C-alpha cells in the first residue's frame, strides 16, 4: 500500500539529480507532485510524463528559486492545480566553491548561492505555511558539510547548508503546534551530474566514507519519502545524515 495516497507535494529544484529522484519517489508512494525548475524544460517535461505514466499527476513550474515572488507563485500554483498542499521539500540549491583570495571576484556568485540555498527556504516555508495542511511535512535538503567541511574552498557553500539546518530546527518549533513536522536531510557524496562518482574528488570522498562509495539520489529520496509519510509523525527538528558514515 502506498504511504502517500491522496497527498500533494511541492519539490523545489526537482527536474534533475536528487530533486528528480525525490519527485519520482513521492509519486511512487501515491502523491501528486509539483516541482520547480529553472531552465531544463525538456528534462522537466520528461519527468512529468514519466510520473504520469505511473498513475499520479505531476506539474512542472518554471521558477527561479532566488526570487521570493516566484517561490510564492509556485506554492499558489500547486494549490490551485491540486487543491491543497501537504508536503514541501526545499531541495533547490547551487554549489559554488572558491578559495578565500577569490572571494571579492566571486561575490555575485556567492550572493546568488545565498539567495537560493538560504533565503529561498524561508520564502518557501512562509508561503507554504499559509496553505499547508495541519499535520503536513516540510523537509529541507542540506549537506554534511554543514557539520564538517572536510576540504578547502567550501566555506561559503558550507555556511549556506549550516543555515539550512538551523531553519529546520527553528521551523520545527514554529509549526509544531499545527502538528507539522520539519526536518533536514544532510546528504554526503551522492552520485549526480553535479558530483559524479568518477569525478575529480571522487576517490578522496569515497575514502572518507565508512562504506567507501558514493550514495545514490534514490537513497536520499527514500529518506525524504519516509519523513513525508505517516511513520515519521514524531520526528521533527531532526538532522538526518545520508552520508555513508562520513560523519561517523
Q: Across the beta sheet with 239-242, what order do the strands follow?
A: 58-62, 32-37, 8-11, 85-90, 132-141, 181-187, 239-242
Strand partners, 37: 62
Q: Which residues are catalytic?
A: 157
* Grid coordinates of 205: 570522498
Give the largest CA-CA distance in the chain: 54
Separation in Å, CA 35 to CA 45, 135, 181, 196, 233:
11, 21, 20, 23, 24
Question: Tell me, what DSSP letter sits at residue 197?
Answer: T
DSSP 113-179: HHIIIIIHHHHHHHHHHTTEEEEEEEEEE--GGGT---STT-HHHHHHHHHHHHHHHHHHHHHGGGT
Amino acid at each position: 500500500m502506498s504511504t502517500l495516497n491522496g497527498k500533494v507535494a511541492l519539490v523545489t529544484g526537482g527536474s534533475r539529480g536528487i530533486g528528480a529522484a525525490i519527485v519520482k519517489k513521492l509519486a511512487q508512494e501515491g502523491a501528486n507532485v509539483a516541482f520547480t525548475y529553472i531552465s531544463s524544460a525538456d528534462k522537466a517535461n520528461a519527468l512529468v510524463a514519466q510520473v504520469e505514466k505511473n498513475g499520479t499527476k505531476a506539474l512542472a513550474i518554471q521558477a527561479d528559486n532566488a526570487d521570493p515572488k516566484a517561490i510564492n507563485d509556485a506554492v499558489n500554483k500547486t494549490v490551485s492545480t491540486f487543491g491543497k498542499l501537504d508536503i514541501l521539500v526545499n531541495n533547490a540549491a547551487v554549489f559554488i566553491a572558491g578559495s578565500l583570495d577569490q572571494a571579492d571576484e566571486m561575490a555575485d556568485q556567492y550572493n546568488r548561492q545565498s539567495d537560493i540555498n538560504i533565503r529561498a527556504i524561508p520564502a518557501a516555508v512562509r508561503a507554504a505555511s499559509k496553505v499547508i495542511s495541519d499535520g503536513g511535512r516540510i523537509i529541507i535538503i542540506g549537506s554534511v558539510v554543514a557539520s564538517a567541511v572536510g576540504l578547502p574552498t567550501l566555506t561559503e557553500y558550507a555556511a549556506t547548508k549550516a543555515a539550512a539546518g538551523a531553519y529546520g530546527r527553528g521551523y520545527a518549533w514554529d509549526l509544531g503546534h499545527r502538528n507539522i513536522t520539519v526536518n533536514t536531510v544532510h546528504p554526503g557524496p551522492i552520485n549526480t551530474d553535479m558530483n559524479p562518482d568518477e569525478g575529480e574528488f571522487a576517490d578522496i570522498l569515497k575514502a572518507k566514507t565508512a562504506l567507501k562509495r558514493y550514495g545514490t539520489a534514490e537513497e536520499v529520496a527514500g529518506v525524504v519519502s519516509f519523513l513525508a509519510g505517516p511513520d515519521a509523525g514524531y520526528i521533527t527538528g531532526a538532522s538526518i545524515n545520508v552520508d555513508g558514515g562520513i560523519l561517523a
